């Protein structure tokens, strides 16, 4: 089965439930299954990008903070899929290029767009620049993801928008700016899902971490930063609606392995979610 992960950077669970009307509609109609995923600590971006893709905590994968800049040395969804002969793609922040294509130092001229079957992320469209960290509008990130799906029909596609993180860093997670950014992302997803689900994609929507009410504060243990949503929109068949259950972020990687029909490596010890 083909899988898309929409990793909404800094999407907290309660605001998603309150504001993402399209995704919650799918849950209400039992066309999707909803969980609350408990993010690993530190509730930071780079450590949890790696956690979501390796299924192990930062004390094991070693990406303990945002400034640990190197290629992943653990079995991960991109490397496992590529080794199985599957096609991988990502429209994502350039930290993904560093983590999985090993582009350290990252050079936006050389590494921004890649199509190379020997890479873990074979078809990559990356945004942002070291030191400047210039943001890309979500609509452009999703458009590049949709293009990758149409052009290359990848087995695993990551779409990683960052505007919620930007709004949360500037205004906090209890702000009109953050809520508007969440609604805008839900609207883009409402355009994407009806296009890509018929192509056979199971679509997961989740986050690396949430956002505290204070601007520019995440990293710790409060529910605002540890509780993130996990929506699973199956391509073939119905969801079960809102389970009300909590799952560990460590369960996401083995769940993706099962969906892609690739063996779960011994390093992923958390149980996959039964779908």
Give me the residues that bind Zn ion (CB under 5 A), please. Answer: 9-10, 45, 165, 208
Q: In whole angstroms, give the CA distance from residue 18 to residue 24.
A: 9
Sheet (strand 88-93) strand order: 113-115, 123-127, 88-93, 156-159, 2-7, 201-206, 227-233, 33-38, 241-248
When the beta carbons of 96 and 120 are compared against Zn ion, the nearer one is 96
Minimum distance, C-beta of residue 236 to Zn ion, in the bound complex (Å): 31
Minimum distance, C-beta of residue 65 to Zn ion, in the bound complex (Å): 12
Q: In whole angstroms, give the CA distance from residue 96 to residue 47.
A: 11
Minimum distance, C-beta of residue 75 to Zn ion, in the bound complex (Å): 23
Residue nearest to Zn ion (CB): 45
Structure tokens given for 59: 């004390």
Minimum distance, C-beta of residue 120 to Zn ion, in the bound complex (Å): 21
Alpha helices (H) along 20-159 = 21-28, 45-54, 58-61, 77-83, 94-101, 108-111, 138-152
When the beta carbons of 24 and 165 are compared against Zn ion, the nearer one is 165
When the beta carbons of 6 and 26 are compared against Zn ion, the nearer one is 6
When the beta carbons of 9 and 50 are compared against Zn ion, the nearer one is 9
Residue 8 CB coordination number (10 Å): 28
Instruction: Report the residue count for the chain.
Output: 275
Minimum distance, C-beta of residue 218 to Zn ion, in the bound complex (Å): 7
When the beta carbons of 213 and 258 are compared against Zn ion, the nearer one is 213
């Amino acid at each position: 089965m083909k899988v898309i992960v929409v990793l909404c950077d800094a999407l907290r669970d309660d605001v998603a439930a309150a504001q993402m009307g399209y995704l919650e509609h799918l849950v209400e109609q039992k066309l999707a299954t909803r969980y609350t995923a408990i993010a690993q600590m530190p509730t930071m971006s780079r450590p949890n990008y790696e956690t979501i893709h390796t299924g192990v905590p930062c004390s094991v994968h070693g990406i303990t903070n945002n400034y640990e800049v190197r290629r992943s040395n653990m079995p991960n969804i991109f490397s496992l899929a590529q080794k199985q002969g599957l096609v991988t793609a990502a429209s994502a922040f350039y930290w993904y290029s560093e983590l999985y294509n090993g582009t350290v130092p990252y050079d936006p001229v050389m590494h921004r767009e890649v199509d190379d079957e020997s890479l873990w992320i074979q078809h990559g469209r990356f945004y942002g620049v070291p030191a400047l960290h210039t943001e890309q509008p979500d609509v452009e990130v999703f458009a590049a993801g949709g293009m990758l799906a149409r052009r290359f029909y990848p087995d695993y596609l990551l779409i990683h928008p960052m505007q919620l993180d930007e709004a949360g860093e500037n205004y906090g997670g209890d702000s009109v700016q953050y809520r508007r950014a969440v609604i805008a992302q839900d609207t883009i997803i409402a355009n994407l899902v009806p296009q890509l689900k018929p192509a056979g994609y199971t679509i997961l929507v989740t986050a690396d971490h949430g956002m505290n009410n204070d601007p520019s504060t995440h990293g710790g243990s409060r529910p605002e930063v540890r509780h993130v949503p996990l929506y699973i929109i199956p391509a073939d068949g119905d969801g079960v609606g809102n389970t009300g259950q909590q799952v560990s972020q460590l369960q996401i990687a083995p769940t993706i392995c099962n969906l892609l029909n690739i063996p779960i490596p011994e390093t992923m010890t958390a149980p996959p979610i039964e779908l």
